[in-house]
Amino acid sequence: MAASILPLVLENVGYAPRGEPLIAGVSLEIAAGPSTIILGANGAGKSVLMRLMHGLLPPSSGRVRWSESDAASLRRRQAMVFQRPVMLRRSALANVIYAMKLANIRAGERESQALAALDEVGLRHLAHRPARVLSGGEQQRLALARAWALHPEVLFLDEPTANLDPAAVREIERIIKAFDAAGTKIVMATHNLGQARRLGDEVIYLQAGRVMERAPIASFFARPATAEAAAFMKGELPWV
């Protein structure tokens, strides 16, 4: 096994398409190990920050640096699950195999590993069903299986349970924990405090494109260091 692609280092990263700053002055080091939750209200810039980290958007200023310099290898060793899963017009199994093919996984190993990944997310019985006729929750689990089959070192998740019913949310959170247990670094954006607490080890609180605060999950929930984070939590849990 080659050296890890982590830590991921962001140096004063800004993103300002058409001069409008969506992310400004973000400096972070994302190390292997603890699950990192990127917390913030809608429009705080969580999704943009994840896309900058994952390399889907180029920073307007600053630098995004991994410990691995080869772009293709870097791409293969991280995965992202989006808020709305995008499935190809083919079977669930073929969707997983497609991703493995792009990751240069040997042809002989693809099918068995893909089936194992479907097993992991509880979709093996739907392996030959067209992916696009699956329910929203099943499609999101398929997106997780697609990531699982790639054995990524880092998994980015952008609000993976938005718009899903509680049963589907529980199932997806179980799978995310399995990733963590298998040694994959989790970086997840959410605005759901309960989910942050269930899945995270540390919180990065984002507001208006800036990192306001970074803290271990327990101390963040016990006593946020910034007034902004405290106000956000009060807003999310008005009965507290």
Query: CA of 5: how far to CAs of 9, 29, 36, 67, 78, in Å?
Result: 11, 12, 16, 5, 9
Report if residue 82 touches another protein, rule: CB under 8 A: yes
C-alpha span between 199 and 192 (Å, rounded): 11
Q: Select 88 or 231, whichever has its Cβ closest to another protein.
A: 88
Using CA atoms, how far apart are residues 2 and 12, in angstroms rounded to an integer?
Answer: 28
Let me know: does 228 contact 39? Beta carbons within 8 Å. no
Whole-number minimum distance, CB 88 to another protein, in Å?
A: 5
Q: If binding is defined by CB under 8 A, does position 218 make contact with another protein?
A: no
Buried b (16+ CB within 10 A) or exposed e, 154-190: bbbbbbbbbebeeebbebbbebbeebbeeebbbbbbb
Q: Smallest distance from the beta carbon of 215 to another protein, in angstroms?
A: 29
Shortest separation between residue 201's beta carbon and another protein, angstroms: 24
CB pairs under 8 A, 24+ apart, for 196-200? 196/37, 196/39, 197/221, 198/173, 199/35, 199/37, 199/173, 200/34, 200/35, 200/36, 200/37
> What does the block give as tokens for 215?
């803290």
Identified binder of another protein from the candidate list 90, 125, 174, 223, rule CB under 8 A: 90
Q: Counting contacts by CB under 8 A, is residue 198 touching another protein?
A: no
Q: Does 185 bind another protein (CB under 8 A)?
A: no
Residue with smaller CB distance to another protein, 56 or 237: 56
Site string for another protein, 114-133 (x = CB under 8 A): ----------------xxxx
17 touches another protein (CB under 8 A)? no
Cβ proximity to another protein: between 76 and 141 the closer is: 76
- Minimum distance from residue 124 beta carbon to another protein (Å): 20
Order across the sheet with 23-30: list the strands: 23-30, 8-15, 61-65
Chain residues 46-75 in contact with another protein, contact rule CB under 8 A: 51, 54, 56, 72, 75
| Closest separation in Å from C-beta 99 to another protein | 5
Pick the closer one to another protein by CB: 39 or 155. Answer: 155
Residues that bind another protein (CB under 8 A): 51, 54, 56, 72, 75-76, 79-80, 82, 86, 88-90, 98-99, 102-103, 130-133, 146
